Structure 1
Amino acid sequence: MRPPQSEVSATALLQLWLGQHRQTAVFLDVDGTLLDIAETPGAVHVPPGLVDALAQLHRRLDGALALISGRPVEELDRLFHPLRLPASGAHGAYWRETGDSPLRRTGKDLPACVRVRLNALACANPGVLAEDKGSSFALHYRAVPERAPLLREALLALLDAPEGAGLRLLGGKRVYEIVVDGVDKAVAVRRLMATAAFAGRCPLFIGDDLTDHPALVLMSGLQGLGLSVGRTLPGASAVFADAAAVRTALITAAGGNHR
């Protein structure tokens, strides 16, 4: 019998669920959850032992472990090379069922006129980093946090314009992102839960940001478990202190040594 989740730490809950490996499916956000947030998306570091731990857990779960990220899937493959996992990228717009499956697409590209306006907005605000993902477009303002109100105002104005129809604004950790409607991390989880490796299992999702909120809230409806990182988010039953704590728990559960 499982103890009440409110009385158990995030690490203990993770270990409990991973101990029931034939019943559990694991979904992991990347930035802020597996990896420490860096000044730019390209500056993140994958610590030693993490790739081996994920590979070991993926085997133990018979393939029911996936990465659910705002990053493109191609970037996930580069970060965790040579490991290729089931994955969903760009907030659910792209996905693959297994590491060997072809990449599928569900979201449309942002209109060209929108991408031009977003690039122009980044150029008009030195220090803002533009990241064009096709079906979404991120403006990172970590280097110039004082620009946040101006960026938000400009992005809301864009959404109110005719070319903003069918788009929405996501806020993250020092980043704003324009995405197409109809995709999010809950959609990504539901899609993978319908595939062979994940079907019939209870999902466990770990995330750290508001973009993870839809997937965390989804967990209770699927008899699953949501865990957050750094702060309590809606849908989370317990909280890891930081990404390092998540890595330690995963590497320990996989039987490796944390460094």
Structure 2
Amino acid sequence: MHARQNTAGLSTPRAAPPPIHVRDHALFLDLDGTLIEIQDRPHAVFASPALRELLRRLSDLMSGALAVVTGRSLGDLDDILEGAVDHAAGVHGFEIQRGARITRDQIELTQLAEARADLRRLLQQHELPALVEDKHASLALHYRQIPEAEELVQSIAREIAAKRGLRVLQGKMVVELIATARTKGYAVTVLMAAPPFSGRTPVAIGDDRTDEDAFSAATRMGGFGVLVGEPRETHARYVLADPSAVAAWLQMGLRAG
């Protein structure tokens, strides 16, 4: 079944992606909701030994051309994957890891410190138990446990962002105040510029709105995106149902290689 195209240049994909070509493709994988099921609390997430081994083996087979591109910090990612991948991007491209080398953008932290104080005050004022995750370059407000407060939480985030000159990123039951202009698309572009990714066809896989920049970047460079979850309008060309389907697709690539 073909994707249904609309006038905005987006489509609603229905087809599963083609098999991974381990000698040609470069994989850029989101974590939460893509490789691992989303949990109510971000720190409750863990990667199974089977998933870590799958990523290690597939990365080796692809000569290292596999990266995890996540909104989490690289520290969080390493705690979860325990070094299963050599290349990664954290906090939506603010942090880039190439093997043992990690680079981070220079940012002005005063705005985030002021935003952190604003958040504490407003959450207490409205008696909201939203979970605030501090990622150094951003503040994430998780409200999965209070979905009825979604509109209020987003309103608070927009108010603080406007006051402190921060960007707002909207995810699945999370809204993020971010002090950097980087995106997952930037991370894909930077990683593709050097070995082991350069010269390959980029494939970006993710489940959230924050992955759309990665889909677009992969498409611009001759590759494609894969949406994880229910079909919706997206810049991705293909779709997989859930993290289990992603794991099965990765396993298929491992066997084919």
- State the TM-score, normalizing by the size of structure 1: 0.87
Q: Percent identity?
A: 35
Q: How does 1:145-156 map to 2 (within 5 A)?
A: 145-156=147-158
How far apart are the structure 2 equivalents of 1:139 and 1:209? Answer: 16
In the other structure, the counterpart of 2:213 is 214
How far apart in 1 are the matches of 2:172 and 2:212? 13
Give, as a single letter, the amino acid of the residue that structure 1 aligns with 2:35.
Answer: L
CA distance in structure 2 between the partners assigned to 1:90 and 1:122 by the alignment: 23
- Structure 2: which amino acid aligns with 1:116? A
Structure 2 CA distance for partners of 1:119 and 1:91, relative to 1, 3 Å: farther
Tell whether 2:240 aligns with 1:240: yes
User: Would you say the 8 A contact 2:67–2:85 is kept in 1?
Assistant: no
CA contact (8 A) 1:206 1:227 kept: yes
Counterpart of 1:150 in structure 2: which amino acid? L
Structure-2 residue corresponding to 1:128: 130
Q: AA paired with 2:241?
A: A
Give the length in aligned residue pairs: 243
Q: Secondary structure at the match of 1:223?
A: coil
Taking a change above 3 Å as real, the CA distance of residues 233 and 89 of structure 1, as seen in their structure-2 partners, is farther
- Segments of structure 1 that go 5 or more residues without pairing to the other structure are none
What residue is the counterpart of 1:73 in the other structure?
74
How far, CA to CA, are the matches of 2:160 and 2:39 in structure 1? 28
Q: CA deviation at 1:239?
A: 0.9
RMSD: 2.1
| From 119, 138, 141, the counterpart of 2:140 | 138
CA deviation vs aligned residue, 1:25-65 (integer Å, no higher than 9, x gap): 11000000000000110112323411111111101111110
Aligned residue in 1 for 2:253: 253
1:72 Cα offset (Å):
0.5
Asked whether the equivalents of residues 50 and 251 of structure 1 are also in contact (C-alpha less than 8 Å), the reply is no
SS at match of 1:118: helix
Alignment deviations for residues 13-33 of structure 1 (CA, whole Å, 9 cap, x no partner):
1x2xx23x2221110000000
Aligned to 2:204: 205
Gaps of 5+ in 2: 5-12
Distance 2:203 2:84 in 1: 21
Query: After the TM superposition, which parts of structure 1 deviate over 4 Å for at least 4 consecutive aligned residues?
Result: 4-8
Match of 2:23 in 1: 22
CA drift of 1:147 comes to: 1.2
Residue 132 of structure 1: how far off its partner (Å): 0.6
